[in-house]
Chains A and B, each alone.
Chain A
Amino acid sequence: MQLPIYYPLGLAALLFGLGLWGALTRTNAVRILMFVEIMLNGVNLNLVTFSRYYWQSSPEMAAKAPILTLFIMTVAAAEASVGLAIILAMVKNRGVIDVDKVNLLKG
């Protein structure tokens, strides 16, 4: 590839950082969840990039990154469903989605 490896890696890092930023600043629980997905996307991008640039010597090794990515995505989906369920339960129970208003437990 002509494209230097720094470009996709940089994009992945930026995605991760943006995800962090969003997850830490927005108080809507669903939105936080979305940003977490963005961060995972950054990770995936990282994996694929490394795989594409360095680990093409055998099909077995080349397959590792996509597979790991696949698992990450699967887990992300499962996490998202459980997370949304938790958020929904909370919304139903307390009528808030703002994580700032969720601090019964502290100290």
Chain B
Amino acid sequence: METILHYAWLIAVIPLTASALIAMFARYLGEKNAWKVGSGLMLITFLLTVGSLIAVIQHPHEAGGPNFYTHPAWHIHFNWANFGPYEIQMGLQIDNLTALLLPMISLVSFAVQVYSSEYLHGDKRVPRFYSAINLFTMGMLMLVMADNLFLLLISWEIMGLCSYLLIGHWYEQEWPRMGQIKAFLTTRVGDVGMMVGIFIIFFAARDLTWHGLAEKIPELVHDPATAALLALGAFLLFTGAMGKSAQFPLHTWLPDAMAGPTPGSAIIHAATMVAAGVYLVGRAFMVYGNVPAWVLAVIAFVGAFTSLFAATIATLRWDIKEVLAYSTISQLGYMIMAIGLGGWTAGNFHLLTHAFFKAMLFLTAGSVIHAHHHNQLLHKMGGLRKKIPVTFFAWMVGYLALAGFPGFSGFFSKDELLLAAATWHNDAVHGWVAMLPYYMALATAFLTAYYMTRATWLAFFGKPRDQHLYDHAHESPRAMTIPLIILAIPAALIGWFGTPVFYHYFHADWMMFIPEFLHLPGIEHTAEFSTELAVTITATVVGLSGIFLGWLLYAVVKPETRAKWIAAGKPIYTLVRNKYYVDEFYDLVAIRSTQLISRAISWFDGAVVDGMVNLVGVVGIAVANASAWFDANVVDTLVTMWADIARWFASSFRRLSTGYVQQYMLTFVVVIVASVLLFQVIR
């Protein structure tokens, strides 16, 4: 398998080729064949990635443990450009983390493409969709393979572009058009911070490659000033992650991103792109791990807060995709938090599991919507489990994984994550504050279980609330269900590769595969087994009680009673229901004020700057004249003032020339006599 790594660069090239092919031959391929090219090539990519993973697993690690961070299993690079005297290396690398993520990305992409062949049946712009998806996959693959921050940024933005394109897939409608702009701009805000972060890191280290940074940063932080600077850079870098991974306060774009086709959302806004932020923080851990601790603390709290915040919102969503969207924000918050807590492995592990089950959940939701005649609203569903059994099965796998039901993948990764929270230790945070993330994470776990149960019950159980829709509901075609199954398998099982608690009892090596494979020496602290066990039990209890509460409220309690309770907690309900008014706040503060300023500046530019410049250049006189000649309508007060002054002078000069010759002579003589007198005075 070693040799397969020689062709690892194909992993990025093949999807790009697919994208280009589909774009170029769009008209020729049409709706019928575009998916074949895309998914076919993606399958090859998937096989390659799997091969690479195996190769990496077999790769003899450096002595003293998995030192993959500085010595990737595979690395190619070349001198891409010179920034001044600095050579910028451009290259691809595969190390353990990358190797683990690559198959996930390509598999999800493959599944999504197969799924879309049916889902987008009859759509006008299928080739465009496939081209974008393949381009996107390329971006994501390149992002995880990038050996430097610069290439990462480029991939990052390519994905942003694809996200923009896919959200706006149905650009005739208003929602997608606004959603795509919102997504692009919100992430752009983060990106600017991230770019400045990169500048700072480059300024401090004069290097952007991962291995270079890993070597230089630990030495650089010896100087407190540089360390503080790097901390700032690291924080700004994190703002990029906040934008991409939809962390509070840059989270608002993700729900609106659901305006695009569901399969696209599945891969971009659930599985991969949004996780890029998490990946970035993880990948740049050589920075975060070395700079002053407050940065990681901030990251942890941002993550924790986001996860809880989004989870509360998700409890009151009625659109099935929106529930999933807020759930995604919440789960991303989890991962961010985990890495901020130092739970590097846990965060990346959750990234992996979440990618599978959330992608699958989205596809399932798409299937539900497809089956339900494009109805996305939960309160019109109900009892669908009989009509669409395969979909229901897949949903249940995803639901249980997300809710943290023991045995499913999400349970194990969440467990790891909670453990990291429970044993958090940070120099910048002390006392009860240090325990906050843990309790917030538990609350999130509880809410997650609750809202997922709510959604599941409303959609699949109980009585149909809209009989007409229910009657016409039908199971999706095989092209849609098979991908669900494909994804259901890892979604259910992958968690077993990282089960320290079970390992304690069973001692099967594969149970510790992921923690071992992704182990970062010197960063994570090992916990006592008793703590691990306690956390596992707590998590299980919390998850189950969440499920129970959901079941209680929606299966047992009558809707009227629920309404009464809601009325009782009206203010809170309204607040949460309106997503804490963050959108409205932005609309007021960011968007409207920007528009206002921009209009003001536009006016200012025409009226004042134009005038000021003319004022500064005395010669604006002539401009004024010019404008008087051609354009009496230019309201340019300052300029006209100058023009008036000039004209006044000019006409008074002109008035000197009266035509009376004696007056000319007199002027002549007077001037001479006057100057003679003057020269007596000034000598």
Q: A and B touching (C-beta < 8 Å)?
A: yes
Within 8 A of A (CB), among B652-675: 654, 657-662, 665-666, 669
Is A27's beta carbon under 8 Å from chain B?
Answer: yes
Is A23 touching B665 in the complex (CB atoms < 8 A)? yes
Instruction: Please pick, from B654, B657, B662, B669, the residue contacting A99 in the complex, using a CB distance under 8 A.
Output: B662
Is A103's beta carbon under 8 Å from chain B?
Answer: yes
A106 surroundings in chain B (CB, below 8 A): 657-660
Is B665 touching A107 in the complex (CB atoms < 8 A)? no
A106 to B666, CA, bound (A): 16
Instruction: Please pick, from A24, A102, A103, A105, the residue contacting B665 in the complex, using a CB distance under 8 A.
Output: A24
- Residue of B654, B658, B662, B669 ringed by the most chain A CB atoms within 10 A: B662
A107 surroundings in chain B (CB, below 8 A): 654, 657, 659
Q: How close is B651's CB to chain A, nearest CB, in angstroms?
A: 9
Is A103 touching B659 in the complex (CB atoms < 8 A)? yes
Is A99 touching B659 in the complex (CB atoms < 8 A)? no
Would you give the 0/1 interface string for A66-107, flagging 1 where the beta carbon is closer than 8 Å to chain B? 000000000000000000000000000000000110111111
- Residue of A25, A32, A102, A103 ringed by the most chain B CB atoms within 10 A: A103
Is B666 touching A100 in the complex (CB atoms < 8 A)? no
Q: How many residues of B contact A (CB 8 A)?
A: 10
A99 surroundings in chain B (CB, below 8 A): 660-662
B665 surroundings in chain A (CB, below 8 A): 23-24
Known: A20-B669, A24-B669. A103 touches B658 (CB 8 A): yes
Q: How close is A17's CB to chain B, nearest CB, in angstroms?
A: 10
B657 surroundings in chain A (CB, below 8 A): 106-107
Contact residues of B: prevailing secondary structure: helix
Which chain B residue lies CB-closest to A104?
B659
A20 to B667, CA, bound (A): 12
Q: How close is B225's CB to chain A, nearest CB, in angstroms?
A: 73
Is B669 touching A102 in the complex (CB atoms < 8 A)? no
A27 to B663, CA, bound (A): 11
A48 to B666, CA, bound (A): 28
Q: How close is B657's CB to chain A, nearest CB, in angstroms?
A: 6
Which chain B residue lies CB-closest to A100?
B660
Is B659 touching A105 in the complex (CB atoms < 8 A)? yes
Would you give the 0/1 interface string for A19-30, flagging 1 where the beta carbon is closer than 8 Å to chain B? 010011101000
Q: How close is A42's CB to chain B, nearest CB, in angstroms?
A: 14
A27 to B658, CA, bound (A): 15
Which chain B residue lies CB-closest to A102?
B661
Is A27 touching B662 in the complex (CB atoms < 8 A)? yes
B658 surroundings in chain A (CB, below 8 A): 103, 106
Which chain A residue lies CB-closest to B670?
A24
Is A24 touching B659 in the complex (CB atoms < 8 A)? no
A25 to B665, CA, bound (A): 11
Instruction: Please pick, from A20, A23, A25, A103, the residue contacting B660 in the complex, using a CB distance under 8 A.
Output: A103
Within 8 A of B (CB), among A26-40: 27, 32
Within 8 A of A (CB), among B621-661: 654, 657-661
Is B662 touching A24 in the complex (CB atoms < 8 A)? yes
A102 surroundings in chain B (CB, below 8 A): 659, 661
A20 surroundings in chain B (CB, below 8 A): 669
A87 to B241, CA, bound (A): 95
- Residue of B658, B661, B666 ringed by the most chain A CB atoms within 10 A: B661
Q: How close is A79's CB to chain B, nearest CB, in angstroms?
A: 15
A35 to B66, CA, bound (A): 116
Would you give the 0/1 interface string for B65-83, flagging 1 where the beta carbon is closer than 8 Å to chain A? 0000000000000000000
A104 surroundings in chain B (CB, below 8 A): 659
A3 to B346, CA, bound (A): 123
Q: How close is A49's CB to chain B, nearest CB, in angstroms?
A: 20
B666 surroundings in chain A (CB, below 8 A): 24
Q: How close is B489's CB to chain A, nearest CB, in angstroms?
A: 98
Q: How close is B521's CB to chain A, nearest CB, in angstroms?
A: 94
Which chain A residue lies CB-closest to B661?
A99
Which chain B residue lies CB-closest to A103?
B659
A32 to B666, CA, bound (A): 13
Which chain B residue lies CB-closest to A106?
B659
Instruction: Pull 8 A–B residue pairs with CB atoms less than 8 Å apart, ordered by A.
Output: A20-B669, A23-B665, A24-B662, A27-B662, A103-B658, A103-B661, A106-B659, A107-B654
The 3 A-B residue pairs whose C-beta atoms are closest, nearest first, are A106-B659, A103-B659, A99-B661
- Can you name 9 extra interface pairs (CB under 8 A) apart from A102-B659, A106-B657? A23-B662, A23-B665, A24-B662, A24-B666, A99-B660, A102-B661, A103-B659, A103-B660, A107-B657
Query: Which residues of B are in contact with A by a Cβ distance under 8 Å?
Result: 654, 657-662, 665-666, 669
Query: Which residues of A are in contact with B by a Cβ distance under 8 Å?
Result: 20, 23-25, 27, 32, 99-100, 102-107
